[in-house]
Amino acid sequence: MKREPESLQEAVTYFADPDNCINYLAVRRWPDGVVICPTCSSNSVSAFNTSRRTWMCSTHHPKREFSIKVGTIFAESPISLDKWLMAMWMLTNCKNGVSSCEIAKDVKVTQKTAWFMMHRIRLAMQDEAFGKLSGEVEVDETFIGGKARNMHLDKRERRITGTGGKDKTIVFGALERGGKARTMVIGDRKRGTLQTCVKEHVEAGSALYSDALASYDGLAQDYAHQVIDHAEKYVDGKIHTNGMDNFWSLLKRGISGTYVSVEPFHLFRYLDEQVYRYNNRATKDNPLTDADRFDMAVRQIVGKRVTFAELTGKPN
Ligand SMILES: [Zn+2]
C-alpha cells in the first residue's frame, strides 16, 4: 500500500513496512526534503542507506550515522517503529483514552513498555500554541484523584470524583467557546493563583464566564466578566460554564475509566493527552479525521525526550 493510511486497519498494514514508517516520518520532519543531522544540524548528509536504514552526516563527530528515531520521542528505544506508530494512532484517536494494558495487548509489548511509550507519545501531544484564548471564554477548576494509598486498598475508592478534598489535585481550565481548551495543575484556588491563570490564558477584553467562587472577584477590570451562581441556577442566557462542565466530565471519564489511578505527579501528562484530542476534535468548521490527529502529533515528535528514570524516579 503506497497511499497514507486513513484508518486504524490501514495504519496496521501500512506501518508493517519499515520503509513506510520512515517515509511517513521523514516527509514531516524534513518537509523540504533536506535531511538535517540531528547532532550538528548540518545538511551535508549522505543519501539514505537502504540496507542499514540510516543516514550519515559528512562531518566527523560521534553518532554521525543516524536513524529517523534520533532526536525524537522514539530515540534510544529498541521498540520498532510499527509498534510506536500503532500506539500513537490509538492514543491520538481513542476518545476516552486507552490503557497501557490495551496498548500492550494490541501492539504486543509488555505493559511496562506500553506505559513508558504512552508517556513519550504524550510529549508529542502537548499543545504548542501559546496564543491566548479570546471571544467568549469559560473558566473553572476541578478536583481530580486523591487518596492514592486508599485506592489500592479499596476498589470502590478507585473511582475518581470531583468535589473537593484535601488530597486531591486541583486543575484549572479555560475554554474558548467553539475553540480550544487549556488546563493547568494548580496548588490552590486562592485569588492570586486563579487570576494569574486567567490572565495567562485569556486575552484581556474577552467575555469571561465563571461560577461564583470569590477568587474570581475583581476580574471585571480586565474582562467582561459575568458570574453564574450555581446555588441559584446553572444557565442564564450566555452566562454559564457548561462547556467546561462537559470538558471535565470527558476528562474524568477518560481518567477513571481508563487509567485506574493517576498519580498527581503525572496528571499534567494525561491532561495534555485529553486536551490534544479535545482541541483537535472534528467540528463543522474543522472536520479533522483520525489521520489528521495522528499526522499533527507526528509533526511534534522532534526534540522531546523523557527517560524511564525521570518518569519513575528510579533507574530502568
Ligand atoms: Zn552532523
Give the span between the Cα atoms of 29 and 36, in whole angstroms. 9
Res 152: pLDDT: 43
Task: Return the HEC string of 129-163.
Answer: CCCCECCEEEEEEEEECCCHHHHHHCHHHHCCCCC
Question: How many A from CA of 38 to the centre of ligand 1?
Answer: 7
Q: pLDDT per residue over 28-54, tens digit each?
A: 999 999 999 999 999 999 999 999 999
Question: How many A from CA of 61 to the centre of ligand 1?
Answer: 7
Question: How many A from CA of 64 to the centre of ligand 1?
Answer: 5
Question: How many A from CA of 302 to the centre of ligand 1?
Answer: 16
pTM: 0.86
Half-sphere exposure of 164 (CA within 13 A, CB side): 1
First to last CA, the chain: 38
Res 156: pLDDT: 38
Question: How many A from CA of 16 to the centre of ligand 1?
Answer: 30
Question: How many A from CA of 215 to the centre of ligand 1?
Answer: 53
CB 57 within 8 Å of CB 45: yes
Res 309: pLDDT: 76
Question: How many A from CA of 34 to the centre of ligand 1?
Answer: 13
Question: How many A from CA of 84 to the centre of ligand 1?
Answer: 25
Res 154: pLDDT: 40
Q: pLDDT per residue over 101-121, tens digit each?
A: 999 999 999 999 999 999 999
Res 185: pLDDT: 92
Three-state DSSP class for 169?
A: strand
Residues of the chain with pLDDT under 70: 1, 146-167, 257-262, 314-316
CB 208 within 8 Å of CB 217: no
CB 85 within 8 Å of CB 17: no
